[in-house]
Amino acid sequence: MDTEGHQEPRATRHAPVPPPRPTHAPGAGAPQQSRGQEFLAWLRAPRPVALPGVWRLNHRPRPAEEPDRIPGRQLLSGALIAFLCGWLLWSLLWNSYLGDWWLWPLLAVIPDHWFQGPADGRVAYAVSSNAYYLIVAVGIMVAVGRLGRWSEVWQRYIAPRFKRPEPRQAPPATPQEDPARWPHLRAAGAEQAADKLAAEAGAGRMRDVDLARIERAWQSVASGRHPLASFTRAVLTDGAAACLHPSGARDLAARTARHDLRTGQVRLGTAADDQRNPYAYRGTGLALGPELLGTSFLAVGPAGSGKTGSVIRPLAEALCLQALAGRAAVVVVGAAGAGLGPSENYDVVIRVGHPDSEYDFDLYGGTGDPDEAAAVLAEALVGDLADPHPGGDSRRSATVLAQLLGPYRAVHGRFPSVPELRELLDGAPGPLGDLRKALDEAGDEAMLRELDARERQLGTAGDPGSLLADRVALLDRPAFAAFFDTTGQAQPFSLRALDHPVRVRIDLPERGHADASRILARLVLAQFTASAAHREDRSLFACLILDDAARTITPEAVRGIQRLRSANAGTVLTLRTLDEVAAPLRTALLGAAGCRMALSGVTPWDGQQFAEVWGKEWIEARDVTDRQIVADEPLTKVSHFVRKVITGKAPTAQSVTVRQVERERWSASELAHSVPPGHAVLSLTTVRGEHAPPLLVDLRG
């Protein structure tokens, strides 16, 4: 910082350009002779432990704090000035302008007979004097070099031009540490299986999905759930194709994002080289995995900001790969044609309202308990109309449904279909009379009391039955006549299948049936939170991806999302704006989601919500004040006048005040107006409680 009040700009640093996205998995899509080498290079690549959200494949850790870098122009000008000063000092000494005192050490050491002695003496004098001159010159150079920071100039501008690029991967130090030799299998006594897998990998017959799937199978062996003999037999028989997914698939049809199945990560972008990002994150790849998605993920951004293409589809693709490896179960919900991946990537594709849909959806979640089915169905039908405060619920509606579902199931052995449920809720005398007659004949007094209670409430003030009937009527349309079958003629899909590594995509009929789509979205969310939290085997990560969660967030949904973290499950939700959520629930939703993303184009009102959740931080603020210098001496006045004529500015002096202030990490205005297109601000939380502050991420990298 000079005396004119001008601050040198910080040297511009460009983030490294990431490699292009691969079109195939490691070990696939390449010639046979190079598949093995490519796969082994990927397998042996370093994956150091890193901060939350950092892409670990070939990651090079950076310091946690930014070094005190001198601006480039100031560094170069200081080095040049130091060189000129050293040259001037040497010239003054050499030409004796400063006297001969600097030659006294030389004259005190050299014998007198060398000056006028024989030729050998004169040669010795010349050699010793030149050596002395060299020592003095080197001393001056070292002194001015330290003052001018020549070493930093060398390291920053010259040395990188001669430095060879370091290899991106390092081979294991010893064969016992080589992952391609499967040392953990050998240590457990499965040498034959390890030799078979090593041969498969070297021959190019193994892919990253195969590796992850076999590792998952080995975990079940190590935990004692499966015997070692059966694992070894499967590997020796099938090689890299052992322990296949029930679909028989070993990879997806195509990949649009970069995946690393050894760490379970999918790369979403690159942390921008921005002052607001911590130095350790700048220029690094940003990735998500189950350890982050297990705290649930919320993305908010307007239409066209990249929620589906840059966030939802890569995550869906990653979880489908995890499912093929036997590690996850994923349910993806979105509008038909939303671009959530091809049908070949999924085991079950439910096209609600489409006549060619191969699969149906279970309206009651696969349960046989009338109270449980009533609670989930009430949440879907009228959950958005319940009291939006955190204590609100749809308990009365669930009671009404239970009073009808229980008696109907007791008589027919199944739950009512959509038309039958609508008639019961409307209070039609025919269906209710037939139901009562059947219960009388069976002598079921408990269910008769339930039915009596429902009939007493019919037509009374505040009876939720009519509202429930109106909502059920939205599903009782000709387009849905072939769906939600309860007669046993079809086998509808139930979210109780989350105990298996299943890949499900549900296409909602947004076009023409928007209200019905919202009901179905709430139904899927309610069934998922209920099923995921009550699984017997929680080693399988379960995730629900809900593209466009508008009008699906209810008080019960927020409570369900909060319970998923301990159940090894999570949700991924997107919103165009937080206004699509009831005002009392916005803070609770942001608090329930451990990972939050604000994409480019959010409104200042949405930005204010994120700013409050992300909080504030202490920073060092510098206040610079310029004041004009008033000269009293005539000579000083003349110099100031000449300086003003040359520069056009009056001479000034600066005073700098440094203080600690508390400032928002990202203000509402910055989120609304300072996030470039294609970027987002993302904060992360792992299931272990580790945090990453809000980061500016380039989703195009």
CA–CA dist 22, 386 (Å, integer): 47
What are phi and psi for residue 289, nearest 5 degrees? -145, 180
Structural domain containing residue 107: 72-148
Overall pTM > 0.85: no
Q: What is the 3-state secondary structure (H, E, C) of 181-218?
A: HCHHHHHCCCHHHHHHHHHHHHCCCCCHHHHHHHHHHH
Across the strands, what pairs with 660? Answer: 620
Amino acid symbol at 77:
S
Going by pLDDT thresholds of 50, 70 and 90, the confidence category of residue 5 is very low
What is residue 100's DSSP assignment? S
Q: What is the mean pLDDT of residues 320-326?
A: 96
Look at residue 92 and tell me if it is in a domain: yes
Alpha-carbon radius of gyration of the chain: 36
pLDDT value of position 649: 73
pLDDT in tens, 148-182: 888 888 888 888 777 765 555 555 556 667 898 99
pLDDT value of position 4: 36
CA–CA dist 63, 350 (Å, integer): 49
Look at residue 428 and tell me if it is in a domain: yes
pLDDT value of position 68: 66
Look at residue 94 and tell me if it is in a domain: yes
Q: What is the mean pLDDT of residues 210-238?
A: 92
Any residues with CB less than 8 A from the CB of 189 and at least 6 apart, and which?
228
pLDDT value of position 612: 94
pLDDT value of position 192: 93
CA–CA dist 482, 484 (Å, integer): 7
Q: Which of 178, 153, 8 is nearest to 75 (CA)?
A: 153
**Residue 423 parent element (H or E):** helix 418-426
CA–CA dist 620, 642 (Å, integer): 37
pLDDT value of position 213: 95
Whether residue 172 contacts residue 106, with contact meaning beta carbons closer than 8 Å, is answered with no
Any residues with CB less than 8 A from the CB of 112 and at least 6 apart, and which?
none
DSSP string, 270-319: EE---TTS-TTTTT-EEEE-HHHHTT-EEEE--TTSSIIIIIIHHHHHHH
**Of 85, 116, 148, at which residue does a domain stop?**
148
Phi-psi region of 90 (alpha: psi -120 to 50; beta: other; left: phi over 0): alpha
With 70 as the cut, is the pLDDT of residue 638 above it? yes
Whether residue 684 contacts residue 594, with contact meaning beta carbons closer than 8 Å, is answered with yes
CA–CA dist 310, 304 (Å, integer): 10
Tokens of 202: 């070297």
Count CA atoms closer than 13 A to 667's CA, side-chain side: 6
With 70 as the cut, is the pLDDT of residue 33 above it? no
Please state whether beta strands 348-351 and 503-508 pair in parallel, antiparallel, or not at all (unpaired): parallel
Q: Which of 362, 370, 372, 368 is nearest to 418 (CA)?
A: 362
pLDDT value of position 70: 72
**Residue 625 parent element (H or E):** strand 616-628
Q: What is the mean pLDDT of residues 422-445?
A: 89
Q: Which of 446, 443, 454, 444 is nearest to 403 (CA)?
A: 454
Look at residue 474 and tell me if it is in a domain: yes
**CB-based burial label for 566 (10 Å; 0-12, 13-18, 19+):** exposed
pLDDT in tens, 371-408: 999 999 999 999 888 766 544 457 888 999 999 999 99
Q: Which of 530, 526, 520 is nearest to 554 (CA)?
A: 526
pLDDT in tens, 653-686: 777 787 888 888 999 999 999 999 999 999 999 9
Any residues with CB less than 8 A from the CB of 453 and at least 6 apart, and which?
403
CB atoms inside a 10 Å sphere around CB 651: 17
Look at residue 139 and tell me if it is in a domain: yes
Look at residue 394 and tell me if it is in a domain: yes
CA distances from 507 to 15, 296, 419, 493 (A): 39, 22, 22, 14
CA–CA dist 400, 417 (Å, integer): 16
CA–CA dist 651, 131 (Å, integer): 48
Look at residue 131 and tell me if it is in a domain: yes
CB atoms inside a 10 Å sphere around CB 366: 15
Amino acid symbol at 561:
I
Look at residue 421 and tell me if it is in a domain: yes
> What is the widest separation between alpha-carbon atoms in the chain?
141
pLDDT in tens, 680-694: 999 999 999 999 999
Identify the weakest region by mean pLDDT among 91-105, 326-340, 469-483, 558-572: 91-105
DSSP string, 562-600: HHHGGGTEEEEEEES-GGGS-HHHHHHHHHH-SEEEEET
pLDDT value of position 115: 63
pLDDT in tens, 97-108: 888 888 888 778
Identify the weakest region by mean pLDDT among 161-170, 344-353, 526-535: 161-170
Whether residue 570 contacts residue 543, with contact meaning beta carbons closer than 8 Å, is answered with yes
DSSP 3-state percent helix, strand, coil across the chain (nearest 5): 50, 15, 40
With 70 as the cut, is the pLDDT of residue 143 above it? yes
CA–CA dist 585, 388 (Å, integer): 6
Task: Report CA torsion sign: 240, 244, 247, 253.
Answer: negative
How many domains does the structure of the chain reveal? 3
Q: What is the mean pLDDT of residues 315-337?
A: 95
What percent of the chain shows pLDDT beyond 70?
A: 89
In 3-state terms, what secondary structure has residue 362? coil
**Of 133, 148, 163, at which residue does a domain stop?**
148
**Of 479, 509, 535, at which residue does a domain stop?**
479
What is residue 493's DSSP assignment? B
